[in-house]
Amino acid sequence: MKIFQDSTQQSFSGLSECQLASGKDKSRSMDVKNMREYMGWLYYQYLLITGIYVLEPWEKSIFNTVLFTMVAMVVYTSYVFVPIHVRLALEFFSGLCGEQPESTVALMS
């Protein structure tokens, strides 16, 4: 996290040197810059943890593509199928304990 703070300070001093921007603009551009630094830091951690830091760029892109595709597929699948499963599960359980008024109401409606 320290690098994050450091970069904050850096961008601070960099901006205060050129007093052109108004206060509002300054804070906004700082936020954007912070965000970028933070994303860069996150990406670096991702590189280190997965070990692809040591790979050549084309290998990195293969890994990223595969991982991205897999994550996208998981997200899409869960988006499509989870609601159905949840509804089926709800029906099943409400069938088991059908006396409960709320669930019956929910089913009927």
**Tokens encoding 25:** 């603009």
Minimal distance in Å, beta carbon 45 to other proteins? 6
- Closer CB to other proteins, residue 15 or residue 47? 47
Neighbours of 98 (CB within 10 A): 11
Minimal distance in Å, beta carbon 3 to other proteins? 5
Binding residues for other proteins (CB under 8 A):
1-3, 44-45, 47-56, 59, 63
Helix (H) / strand (E) containing 51:
none
- Closer CB to other proteins, residue 38 or residue 63? 63
- Closer CB to other proteins, residue 67 or residue 107? 67
CB 94 within 8 A of CB 107: yes
Minimal distance in Å, beta carbon 76 to other proteins? 24
List all residues 6 or more positions away from 104 whose beta carbon is below 8 Å from its beta carbon: 94, 98
